[in-house]
Amino acid sequence: MPLSNIRVLDLSRLLPGPYATMVLADFGAEVIKIEDPFLGDYARDFEPKVAGQGVMFHSLNRNKTSVTLNLKDEADKNTFLEMVKEADVVVESFRPGVMDRLGLGYETLKQHNEKLIYCAITGYGQTGPYRDKPGHDLNYIGYAGLLQLMGTSDQPPIVPATQIADIGGGAQPAIIGILLALFHRERTGEGQFVDISMFDNVLPWLQALLPGYLNAGIVPERGEQMLDGGTAYYNVYETKDGRYLAVGAVEAKFWKVFCETIGRKDFIARQLEPKESQREMKREIQAIIKKKTLEEWTEIFEPLDACVSPILTFPEVVENPQVKARNMIETIEDEEIGAIKHIGIPIKLSKTPGKIRTLAPNRQK
């Protein structure tokens, strides 16, 4: 496997760090989860549970092993330092300065292993006036200006259903940073510090909007943009049975097919009209979509190139033929605890694919 010679010491908890090390483990890295002997990873206790541990913990910590160390204890601290000598990567998600106060910061660890790659995932990074602030996903996307743009113009900003900053701003940039550092080390023999700020890494999610303000002074309004529901051709419409249809007919050719299919050819030439016209078209399209059920609309649009699709529930997602074909839900059998279902591996490598080899570990005293 591509990372089979890489050893990772994972001091992180909850979502961003464990997700990052999960991906490394899926592709062969030996990930040793180091947990506090008193609390451990809080996600172990999250509901719902299977086999006595939170299902999110099972999902994020597959392919890993676990040990417990009290890093405030001198003997355990020395044990950790010995482990660092044989490690390639350390991942932690404490606030800046915590590891330094424990006597285990990067400057100390690199004295024991000059090739070590040390990745710190924090809310605001190691520098700046916010470095010591507490925060969660909602705070990071709020500071980044993303939360302000989520929702419709007549309602307050909406809380997203998933953790954008944790995964997209923390875990995934950490994976990229670690792999880049490993590539650099392969060429030079040098380790380095990887500073991942979840706040920093949310800002690039605004590529379609923030450059417009930076270079043209355009301040976007919530629910009035091309790709946030402000247009008739990129929107969500309710069906007769209270379900929803996603319309992503951005290109003119898709919009043309959509308009012809719903019997409104007169809308074709109006695709790029101003927002008042967009609102009118949205109202009229909604009235049309409301006349048929989701299943009926799905059957109508299925054979057409229109970028129109049903909005699925979890039970429907799991049974979706595309999800099955891509093996995106995997069932792992264990002799002791039975079967546990996992989200599959989305990065498909033709020569060295990832694999779920083992279930999440129990805490090892």
Which residues belong to the active site? 136, 166
User: By the 8 A CB rule, do 279 and 286 touch?
Assistant: no
Task: Show the CA angle centred on residue 25, arms to residues 24 and 31, nearest 5°.
Answer: 105
Say whether 207 sits in a helix, a strand or coil: coil
d(CA 17, CA 167): 9
What is the residue type of 150? M
The pairing of strands 53-54 and 49-50 is antiparallel
Residue 123 · residue 135 · CB < 8 Å = yes
- The β-bridge relationship of strands 117-122 and 89-92 is parallel
How far is it, in rounded angstroms, from Cα 358 to Cα 365? 19
The CA distance from 100 to 116, in Å, is: 16
Contact, 86 vs 96, CB < 8 A?
no
Burial of 315 (0-12, 13-18, 19+ CB in 10 A): exposed
Residue with tokens 């419409």: 237
In which element (H, E) is residue 339 found?
strand 338-343
Q: Which two tokens stand for residue 185?
A: 């080390």
Per-residue DSSP letter, 302:
T
At 305, give phi and psi (nearest 5°).
-90, 90
